[in-house]
Amino acid sequence: MSHSRLPHEPDPEPTESLEDLVKDHRLLAAQQWLGTHQPHVIADALARMNAVDAGVAFRLLDKDRALAAFEELEPVNQQQILEGLRDRAFLDLVENMEPDDRVRMLNEAPAKVAKRVLAGLSPNERRMTSALLGYPEGSVGRYMTPEVVALPQNLTVEQALRTVRAKGADAETVYTLPVVDSGRRLTGIVELRELVLNPPDMMMSELVVTEPTSAYATASAERAARLMRETNDLNLPVVDSEDRLVGLFTIDDAVEVIEAADSEDVARQAGAAPWAGHYMAASVWQLARYRALWLMLLLVAATLTIGVTQAFEATLEQVAQLALFIPMLIGAGGNAGAQAATACVRALAVGEVRGSDLLKVIWRECRVGLVLGSLLAALGLLVGSLFVSLKIAVVVGITLVLICGWAATIGGTMPLLAKRLRIDPAVVSAPMVTTLVDATGLIIYFLTAKAVLGV
Amino acid sequence: MSHSRLPHEPDPEPTESLEDLVKDHRLLAAQQWLGTHQPHVIADALARMNAVDAGVAFRLLDKDRALAAFEELEPVNQQQILEGLRDRAFLDLVENMEPDDRVRMLNEAPAKVAKRVLAGLSPNERRMTSALLGYPEGSVGRYMTPEVVALPQNLTVEQALRTVRAKGADAETVYTLPVVDSGRRLTGIVELRELVLNPPDMMMSELVVTEPTSAYATASAERAARLMRETNDLNLPVVDSEDRLVGLFTIDDAVEVIEAADSEDVARQAGAAPWAGHYMAASVWQLARYRALWLMLLLVAATLTIGVTQAFEATLEQVAQLALFIPMLIGAGGNAGAQAATACVRALAVGEVRGSDLLKVIWRECRVGLVLGSLLAALGLLVGSLFVSLKIAVVVGITLVLICGWAATIGGTMPLLAKRLRIDPAVVSAPMVTTLVDATGLIIYFLTAKAVLGV
């Protein structure tokens, strides 16, 4: 059944997977599977398979479903499929893609594939594609659709609808209609809804929103997408530096941009490089590669903790029991720092906090950390006194207050500082804060111990 | 200027904030500020202010802008505003909200506010609101708009457009038009675009998508939203258990649901309770409350590390230098575990991994962990031999391989296990994995030391 309805209960597990059918060489059954599932389900199944199997399955699709499923794939997977296709099928596919989807694929394609794609396109499609590729990576220009129905000013509703009818067939959307002057400069937008609901002889100008929210083609696609989330606009008109209309940024692309940005932030917060492919399709080596660099950097940074512990070796030898609490204390500091860092990175991403809020954020995170530290100190005192003398338990308690205050301050400061220095705040990830807090937390711990215990 | 254009450069900082104007009692300037900014900018400014100042600023808004800005606010902030309003303004505001926005606000409102809102509504609005409130929290029913233009079957394009014109004014969207049979059962959808672009005498049935993707009103709103991201649908028809059309889930609400779900996952991954308000508007106490519980639970869990270290106290006393590497080793394990946990939670959230993939995921994460551990071991051996004897450095190296393999396996397993047990996978957060890995990692470390050093 191609009928797909989101059921009451979560997680309907598929009975037999496309992957198994192809692996078992049951190609007829695979073809039947492909004929009865929706494009996004097919795309998900293809993305989970290795390149060879996915290529086999893809060639079993009829032409229309092939295009639909192909457009749902991530760029990484699209390339894998393309590389396995003969010329005829290859050309059909790339010619019929939407220009913005094509550009997204080319963004991440090796030069060889990109060249083959561009060479195979008809002149009109090639012109549009090259224009989009001219915008910087991550900009609105890369994601917008250039095929827009623009309306001249001074039409009646009926004339406007006639224009839409004449020119709308190729456009990705006709729901937001930019209005332009004779120099193609954006002067407003009108919603198709307004044209349909109002009398034909009404002047369109009465329905035009004259100062619409818009974006320069070079603006950040993520910021534009988050702006659309706030304004609830379906489409954002995109203009060049001379205010001339060049395209529309549509909501489906905005949703994709937001989800990709959130995935990237999530990966960075866990200390891994952002990764665009399908989790199940990545090989063990690929997954390891995306995580290795940060893990090694963090290990090197962690040698600071060795140095600090060595510097206080005398203290540790005198009071061996201090070693018992090292994992717990740096754990607590790390957690408090990660909470603050994550909250601030997220608040920056969704626009609740700006770079200029730095001092305010430092002041609030410092206080939050001290409040949390005091709570933990009470608990730590209790736990500590179960294992060691009250005096050492007091050291643990005081350390918790100081470490949490310090960790939350650092966690709140670093993302905003990064933002001010124009570094992606998410790069200042929770593990980086944690590692920094580990070493400094140990210093706090040993100094407190020396002061309280007089060693 | 109410004209808002996303510029080339990031972060245009506001010159003078609404907050400062209200705090300085410069109400005329504040009113001017409010008259020249867009609703979503006003909403952001209000959300950053305390309840009293926000109330003052809100009452300076004219009626239309007040409603527009109010609808952009988070439910938490909406309540704050409402509580400060007199009856007349209060009633105007709640009567004119969209039913789904109203329900979202009521979801989180105290009973007193909810009662006042429902009592103040006109019978028709009250009926719609009560119906939506009948659906479970987090379900599509809570987010859908019930005001839909449904078309009967067997119309011409012209007749269909006439129906849209007659009934469309109140509907939140007319771009997706559900088609229903005489029993109001959903049989298809037609896009307004198709009606506008095709000849008036064509039969609508030729343009109808007969088996559209849809959702039961009781289905998860997050899953429905992610489904729309995959299918690129603007609106999802919503039906009751007898397949009767009850509403439309619109893309702007879907984007909001995705962003809220991602924020929630991010918060949980950092070991904090999810939090719906504006970061800058939360008091220090509120922020502390949202983080305290997890931090305390993790501290209690961390006492395991004290127990483990105590159990191996004899080993530690014999080879005091082993203490030097404790923070680095548990840090590396924690990072490897957090990477795996975060990748799997995200893959589950966006639907790349299902509960049934448990064994596959365990197997791949175990191998990824061992690969990463081997890399770190090489580095650790080098670092270790700078500080201590080669024998101890070898202990550090072996421990890194084992800890990373173990941590990645645990990190990959726990979210999928949670999913199978129908617990939110994000709750099995990175800090929880880290804390678990801390204690078990120490056991691995000390056992390895005993075996290699023969102590």
Q: What pLDDT was estimated at residue A10?
A: 46
Q: Could you give the percent of chain B with pLDDT greater than 70? A: 96
Q: Which of B1, B5, B41, B167 to mutate to test the interface with A (most CBs of A within 10 A)?
A: B5
Q: What pLDDT was estimated at residue B220?
A: 93
Work out the average pLDDT over B143-161. 94
Cβ separation B328–A305 shorter than 8 A = yes
Instruction: Express each pLDDT in A30-58 by its tens digit.
Output: 999 998 888 888 998 898 888 888 888 99
Say whether pLDDT at B236 is over 70. yes
Distance in angstroms (rounded) separating the CA atoms of residues B167 and B152? 13
Type and span of the H or E element at A186: strand A186-191
Q: Does A16 contact chain B (CB < 8 Å)?
A: no
Q: pLDDT-based confidence at B40, cuts 50/70/90? A: confident
Q: Which residues in chain B have Cβ-Cβ distances shorter than 8 Å to A216?
A: 5-8
Q: Does B126 contact chain A (CB < 8 Å)?
A: no
Chain A nearest-CA residue for B336 = A295
Cβ separation A259–B256 shorter than 8 A = no
Q: Which long-range contacts (CB under 8 A, 24 or more apart) does B288-291 make?
A: B288/A368, B288/A371, B288/A372, B288/A375, B291/A336, B291/A339, B291/A368, B291/A372
Q: Is B15 helix (H, G, I), strand (E, B) or coil?
A: coil
Q: What is the mean pLDDT of chain A?
A: 88
Cβ separation B342–A435 shorter than 8 A = no
Distance in angstroms (rounded) separating the CA atoms of residues A41 and A34? 9
Q: Could you give the percent of chain A with pLDDT greater than 90? A: 44
DSSP letter string over A228-290?
HHHHT-SEEEEE-TTSBEEEEEEHHHHHHHHHHHHHHHHHHHTT-----S-GGGS-HHHHHHH
Q: Does A86 contact chain B (CB < 8 Å)?
A: no
Residue A96 carries which side chain, given as an amino acid letter? N
Cβ-in-10-Å burial (0-12, 13-18, 19+) of A80 comes to buried
Q: What pLDDT was estimated at residue A102?
A: 87
CA A18, distance to chain mean position in Å, is 28
Work out the average pLDDT over B271-299. 83
Query: Chain A window 395-454: which residues touch B at a Cβ cutoff of 8 Å?
Result: 404, 419, 422, 430-431, 434-435, 438-439, 442
Say whether pLDDT at A190 is over 80. yes
Q: What is the ipTM of this complex?
A: 0.81
Q: Smallest CA–CA separation between B120 and chain A, in Å?
A: 27
Q: Does B84 contact chain A (CB < 8 Å)?
A: no
Q: pLDDT-based confidence at A4, cuts 50/70/90? A: low
Q: Does A287 contact chain B (CB < 8 Å)?
A: yes
Instruction: Express each pLDDT in A80-123 by its tens digit.
Output: 888 888 878 888 888 888 888 888 888 777 788 888 888 888 88
Q: Give first-to-last CA distance, chain A, whole Å.
A: 76
CB-nearest to B192 from A192, A292, A338 is A192
Cβ separation B357–A280 shorter than 8 A = yes
Cβ separation B216–A161 shorter than 8 A = no
Work out the average pLDDT over B362-366. 94
For B350, half-sphere exposure in the C-beta direction (CA atoms, 13 angstrom radius) is 28
Q: Which residues in chain B have Cβ-Cβ distances shorter than 8 Å to A169?
A: 197
Say whether pLDDT at A246 is over 80. yes
Distance in angstroms (rounded) separating the CA atoms of residues A106 and A132? 11
CB-nearest to A196 from B196, B317, B442 is B196
Cβ separation A331–B438 shorter than 8 A = yes
Q: Give first-to-last CA distance, chain B, whole Å.
A: 76
Cβ separation B343–A272 shorter than 8 A = yes
Tokens matching residue A344 = 């601030």
CB-nearest to A335 from B8, B336, B431 is B431
Q: What pLDDT was estimated at residue B15?
A: 67
Q: What pLDDT was estimated at residue A430?
A: 78
Tokens matching residue A139 = 């900009």
Q: Does A234 contact chain B (CB < 8 Å)?
A: yes
Q: Does A190 contact chain B (CB < 8 Å)?
A: no
Q: Which residues in chain B have Cβ-Cβ distances shorter than 8 Å to A347?
A: 279-280
Q: Which residues in chain B have Cβ-Cβ distances shorter than 8 Å to A223?
A: 6, 10
Say whether pLDDT at B8 is over 90. no
Contact criterion met (CB below 8 Å) for A193 and A240: no
Q: Which residues in chain A have Cβ-Cβ distances shorter than 8 Å to B286?
A: none
Q: What is the DSSP-derived secondary structure letter of residue B30?
A: H
Q: pLDDT-based confidence at A276, cuts 50/70/90? A: low
Tokens matching residue A373 = 């530290």
Q: Does B279 contact chain A (CB < 8 Å)?
A: yes
Q: pLDDT-based confidence at B396, cuts 50/70/90? A: very high
Work out the average pLDDT over B250-277. 84
Say whether pLDDT at B2 is over 50. no
Work out the average pLDDT over A329-340. 91
Q: Smallest CA–CA separation between A111 and chain B, in Å?
A: 28
Q: What pLDDT was estimated at residue B276?
A: 67
User: Which range has the worst mean pLDDT, A320-334, B38-52, B192-206?
Assistant: B38-52
Tell me which residue has tokens 């009865």: A36
CB-nearest to A296 from B316, B352, B375 is B375
Q: Which residues in chain A have Cβ-Cβ distances shorter than 8 Å to B65?
A: none
Domains and CATH numbers, chain A: 18-137 (1.25.60.10), 151-269 (3.10.580.10), 283-453 (1.10.357.20)
Q: Which of B71, B193, B222, B291 to mutate to test the interface with A (most CBs of A within 10 A)?
A: B291
Q: Does A360 contact chain B (CB < 8 Å)?
A: yes
Q: pLDDT-based confidence at B7, cuts 50/70/90? A: low
Q: pLDDT-based confidence at A447, cuts 50/70/90? A: very high
Tokens matching residue B198 = 């095709």
Q: Which residues in chain B have Cβ-Cβ distances shorter than 8 Å to A354?
A: 11, 13
Q: pLDDT-based confidence at B4, cuts 50/70/90? A: low
User: Which range has the worst mean pLDDT, A154-158, A296-300, A424-428, B203-207?
Assistant: A424-428
Say whether pLDDT at A328 is over 80. yes
Chain A nearest-CA residue for B218 = A8
Q: Which residues in chain B have Cβ-Cβ distances shorter than 8 Å to A13?
A: 354-356
Distance in angstroms (rounded) separating the CA atoms of residues B454 and A212? 75
Q: What pLDDT was estimated at residue A11?
A: 46
Distance in angstroms (rounded) separating the CA atoms of residues A193 and B173? 8
B304: nearest Cα among A190, A383, A5: A383
Strands B5-6 and A214-216: parallel
Say whether pLDDT at B11 is over 70. no
Q: Which residues in chain A have Cβ-Cβ distances shorter than 8 Å to B294?
A: 335, 339
CB-nearest to A332 from B227, B302, B419 is B302
